[in-house]
Amino acid sequence: MPGDGGHLAPRTVVGVDTQHSAAGSPAARTDRVERSAVKVIAHRGSSAALPEHTEEAYRRALEEGADGLECDVRVTADGQLVCVHDRTVARTSDGRGTVSTMTLAQLSALDFGSWKHPQEPRRSSVLTLERLLELVADAGRRVELAIETKHPVRYAGRVEAELLRVLDRFGLLPAAPEESTVRVMSFSELALHRVRRAAPAVPRVYLWERRLPVLGRTRSLPGGAAVAGPGIELVRRNPGLVTALRRAGHPVHVWTVDRPEDVELCLELGVAALITNRPAEVLAQLGR
């Protein structure tokens, strides 16, 4: 997921003024959810403390009690799914290059850990999606997975095809959406349509950062997504958006929620899941 979005002019979505239906209004107060009911999802692992998308960061998130883990996936040159956010490896490793033009062996030769704390460098290898799924399988409890497919990319629909293949191998393709511990997220409507066609029971999350969604008469989200995934900056500036989405029947999962005041805002608005870099702190704020 990218950074926070920019300001938008007030708009109406499903008949609700998204700019002025503030969290303090009577309608918003009735939407408030119980603290214990809100899911806490670790964004790229416990990534405020440890290098994002590393096994170490995800292990920490599981130890801290996160309800779920979020990751981004990209396809390597030899068809492997790796957990890397950026198109290139420059920001989060000691190497250079584009993920899609590198093999898994080439990526595995890089250090994806030491950039986070250069004074105390700790080497970490690139994390494959399969290894992350193994960690979840060994957790000994229910752990949800929120997997984002990145677009645009060199291999287009191959990302979703490979993702569904791996999920099937791990027995994670559900018979019905309510049975699933996995959901696929994307900013790309086309990507969500691919998932819908190939595996309709896998829940889909439509992500957006700057542009407010326009829900038509069917009150549906792009890509047939059931779940809405707005960025926190958009929610701050348009709090009625969450109310509108919930009234249209869409659970709302907000990213990236790290500030205590943003946690409280999301609780007031009835958000179902908080995607955060700081799972331990958010869980403590929720009294868990």
Q: Is the dihedral of CA 101, 104, 108, 109 positive or negative?
A: negative
The one catalytic residue in 53, 85, 193, 250 is 85
Pairing of strands 273-276, 253-255: parallel
DSSP character at residue 111: -
Active site residue 151: no
Q: Which residues contact 196 (CB under 8 A, 6 or more apart)?
A: 204, 223, 224
Bridge partners, residue 42, by sequence: 69, 276
Q: Are strands 227-230 and 253-255 parallel, antiparallel or unpaired?
A: unpaired
Please say if 43 is a catalytic residue: yes
> What are the two backbone dihedrals, phi and then psi, of residue 118, each rounded to the nearest 5 degrees?
-60, -25
Give the phi and the psi of residue 129 in degrees, each rounded to 5.
Answer: -60, -40
Catalytic member of 7, 20, 43, 193 = 43
For 234, residues 6+ apart whose C-beta sits below 8 A from its C-beta are: 4, 5, 8, 208, 209, 210, 212, 241
Q: Where are the beta strands (DSSP E) in 143-256?
A: 144-149, 182-186, 204-208, 227-230, 253-255
The residue with tokens 């409280």 is: 264
Question: What is the rounded distance in angstroms from the CA atom of residue 2 to the CA atom of residue 208?
Answer: 10
Beta bridge partners of 43: 70
Write out the two tokens for 198. Answer: 């190939």
Residues annotated as catalytic are 43, 85
